[in-house]
Amino acid sequence: MGAGVIAAERGAASGADAGAGDVPALEARSLTLSWDGQTTVVDRISLTVASGEVVCLVGRSGCGKTTILHALSGLTRPLSGQVLLHGEDITGTPGHVSYMLQKDLLLPSRRIIDNVCLPMLLTGVPRAEARAKAEPLFERFGLAGTEEKWPAELSGGMRQRAAFMRTYLMGADVTLLDEPFSALDAITRVEVRRWFCDMARELGLSALVITHDVDEAVSMASRVYVLAGRPSEGEPSHVAGEVRVDHDAAGEGDFALTPEFLSAKREVLELLG
Amino acid sequence: MSCQQDTPRNAAAPRAGASRARRVLTPLLTVAGLLVVWELVVDLGIIPNFLLPTPVQVVQALVSDFSLIVSHAATTLVETAIGLLIGVALGFAIAVLMDRFEGFYLALQPLVTISQTIPTIAIAPLLVLWFGYGLAPKVILIVITTFFPITVSLISGFRSVDPDVIDLMRTMNASRWQIFRYAKLPAAADQFFSGLRISATYAIVGAVIAEWLGGNSGLGVYMTRVRKSFSYDRMFAVIIVISALSLGLMKLVDLLQRVCMPWKRAEGNKR
């Protein structure tokens, strides 16, 4: 399905790294979205995700964040605007980007290994081949020993890791994550988030993460888009601004305790209004 | 994680064991008590024996007529098996079509419901009139009574799938058939087996009712004959056999469910 082409493009993009004129891995151009085809929920938003970059989209509950991800993943068609993957128009066609929904959505009737293999099985890869490809990754995703377990036997944090592994095994070039840690308790959430950030760096993931947690957004992303508006009260959401987070300037130690973190957080909160 | 779970479970274990013994003993003692009361009521002449046989007489009738009852039961079981298989297949097909095509759902929904309001006893003579005294009317009656629980349970099972799972699978470019196979079918399994358990008991009762109205062998035919000769002890004997067959069939469904749904055990252990 053109996976080779995408891989080549990814190579080219990271080769020419950080050049300002680069084609972004994912780009939304002036998307206008609605829930029912009439009322506008999101008004002409534009955003980009560069190759190997983790970007957060932060906004209040009910401001249309999930609606945006549904459109970016191709599940729904925007009223107007375009979604581009490496410059190629993928508006309204699913299957091009990996999408991790809010819940882990593991199939209760399949063992963990078959759950993570699902994207491969659906594209017609034989079961043995898919399993062979997934098996070596279990260790890396902190899931060693869970291969033959049923989802009901795993804790929430482990299930989330399995869901992330399944998302990774979709093999798409860009990953969308919808509040990936919101179902976890506070302590597990910090743990899994930290683990996720390490994995994202290690895998060179290009990801767009949506969250309503400002701390989470600032600690994860190199850029934060702030979404403002109240669609349920007739005021469509729009991008109120973009905040850059300089992780490198903060140096060693807990990023959440640095002045860089606080100033970025203040900026985001101001934009949220 | 496992050690955390072990502690409370072990602590509760002795109490669970004690209640298990009670769970078996209590109903057994109740049944035994009822049988003793029944025997006494007839022996003491409170109810005359020609109206109600004693449990001992019922057992004697069961033993003396056993080989005859077995041969009749074989006929009933064959009808039940054929009818149930066709009923399940039909119920499954209707459910899949109704789930897949909105038009089918709208067209068939009232018909399926109405088919269940027709009393079995009322339609059985018509079936005998149309299809004779052979296997056909019995099987048809069983099919009519068994497909409904299957269809209803499957449709609600298919609809119980989290729509987000379907969205997720769509982002993976899953086809309709793949969504059905990976998500909808397993999600409906639990309710399907509940429906099948009901259908299995309906099937035996349906067969017996159809046999009442005509035929050369079967438990219903045997029942009609012993009723006409006022052998109420044999009546009770055959009722016991019908109950036992229904129970056996339900157990068989339980076994089938355990084999088909290995993940159920993992979910059960968690609680």
For residue B19, the model assigns a pLDDT of: 81
**What 3-state DSSP class applies to B119?**
coil
Question: Minimal Cα distance from A169: which residue of B?
Answer: B172
Q: Is A103 on the interface with B (CB under 8 A)?
A: yes
Domains of chain B, residue spans: 1-50, 53-270
Task: Give, as one character, the DSSP assignment of residue A155.
Answer: -
Nearest one of B110, B270, B95, B63 to B196, comparing CA atoms: B95
* B1, B170, B186 member nearest A75 (Cβ): B170
For residue B216, the model assigns a pLDDT of: 86
Contact yes or no for B266 and A170 at CB 8 A: no
d(CA B221, CA B212): 5
Q: Is A3 on the interface with B (CB under 8 A)?
A: no
Contact yes or no for A122 and B266 at CB 8 A: no
**What 3-state DSSP class applies to A79?**
coil
Contact yes or no for A153 and B269 at CB 8 A: yes
Domain B53-270 CATH assignment equals 3.10.129.10 = no
Question: Minimal Cα distance from A100: which residue of B?
Answer: B168
Q: Are B253 and B80 in contact (CB under 8 A)?
A: no
For residue A194, the model assigns a pLDDT of: 86
Question: Minimal Cα distance from A171: which residue of B?
Answer: B172
For residue B16, the model assigns a pLDDT of: 55
- All residues of chain B having their beta carbon less than 8 Å from the beta carbon of residue A95 are 171-173
For residue A18, the model assigns a pLDDT of: 42
Low-confidence ranges of chain B (pLDDT < 50): 1-13
Contact yes or no for A102 and B164 at CB 8 A: yes
For residue A13, the model assigns a pLDDT of: 39
- ipTM for this model: 0.84
Q: Are B235 and B227 in contact (CB under 8 A)?
A: yes
For residue B4, the model assigns a pLDDT of: 42
Q: Is B269 on the interface with A (CB under 8 A)?
A: yes
E-assigned strand segments in chain A = 26-34, 40-49, 54-58, 80-85, 88-89, 98-100, 174-178, 206-211, 223-230, 235-244
Nearest one of A105, A104, A108 to A152, comparing CA atoms: A108
* B173, B189, B270 member nearest A122 (Cβ): B173
* A102, A118, A152 member nearest B263 (Cβ): A152
Task: Give, as one character, the DSSP assignment of residue A232.
Answer: G
| Structural domains in chain A plus CATH codes | 3-97+177-272 (3.40.50.300), 100-171 (no CATH)
Average pLDDT value for chain B: 88
Mean pLDDT by groups of 10 residues along chain A of 273 residues: 37 40 86 84 92 92 89 92 92 91 92 95 94 92 92 91 92 91 84 86 91 90 91 88 83 77 90 85
d(CA A193, CA A219): 9
Query: How big is chain B, counted in residues?
Result: 271
Contacts of A5 (CB under 8 A, 6+ apart): none
Q: Is B171 on the interface with A (CB under 8 A)?
A: yes
Q: Are B179 and B224 in contact (CB under 8 A)?
A: no
For residue B17, the model assigns a pLDDT of: 60
User: In chain A, positions 125-154, which contact chain B (CB-CB < 8 Å)?
Assistant: 149-153
- The residue written with tokens 């979604």 in the block is A83
Contacts of B80 (CB under 8 A, 6+ apart): B142, B203, B204, B206, B207, B245, B249
CA distance B157 to chain A (A): 14
Amino acid at A129: E
